[in-house]
Amino acid sequence: MSDYIMDLRKIVGHRPLMQTGASVLVIDEDGRLLLEKRKDTHDWAYPGGSVELYEDTEDAARRELLEETGIIAGKLTLFGVYSGKDMHFTYPNGDVTSNIDIVYECHDYSGTLTIEPDEVEDLRFFAPDEIPEDIFLPVRRPIMDWVRSRKQ
């Protein structure tokens, strides 16, 4: 969690916060999507996290991808901006968020998959028809949009 969000949480406690995230849909040469199994909820999600105060969203997406997976993003393309009621989430510690997620797609990357042990349990690529059922709720709509975009 970003220092900015942690500082706000000290003031507001568990009350709802609007939180901006930047995330990356990493697609391998076989058209599979990289997902990580989150340590906090044990659900699958794409790499991403909170944008720091004054940070460019593309820089945040690159930073989060590298921190969580060891992958260095090349070209990023905006996939979509997601907000609304289905982006609401209550974390296991009781923190409530209304998320705005700026999601990028990346086919151009380098590095070796490396699990960040404090946040990630597993990293795997999934074909569009193999996406697991236990998807982290705030990323379900973007992932399903990605799956639908592959079927067109």
**Tens digit of pLDDT for each residue in 5-36?**
889 999 999 999 999 999 999 999 999 999 99
CB 93 within 8 A of CB 75: no
Quote the tokens at residue 66.
Answer: 């590298």
Q: What is the pTM of this model?
A: 0.94
The reported pLDDT for the residue numbered 4 is: 85
The reported pLDDT for the residue numbered 2 is: 73
Per-residue pLDDT at 1 exceeds 70? no
Q: How far is CA 67 from CA 19, 34, 47, 62, in A?
A: 19, 14, 9, 9
Quote the tokens at residue 58.
Answer: 């593309």
Nearest 5°: CA angle at 62, between 97 and 52?
A: 45
Distance separating alpha carbons of residues 19 and 15, to the nearest angstrom: 12
The reported pLDDT for the residue numbered 5 is: 87
Q: How far is CA 37 from CA 53, 68, 124, in A?
A: 26, 11, 8
Domains of the chain, by residue range, sit at 3-151
DSSP state of 135: B
Q: How far is CA 7 from CA 3, 36, 51, 98, 150, in A?
A: 6, 27, 14, 17, 40
CB 26 within 8 A of CB 46: yes
* 38, amino acid identity: R
DSSP state of 147: H
The SS3 of residue 126 is: strand
Reported as a single tens digit per residue, the pLDDT across 42-97 is 999 999 999 999 999 999 999 999 999 999 999 999 999 999 999 999 988 999 99
CATH no. for 3-151: 3.90.79.10
The reported pLDDT for the residue numbered 124 is: 98
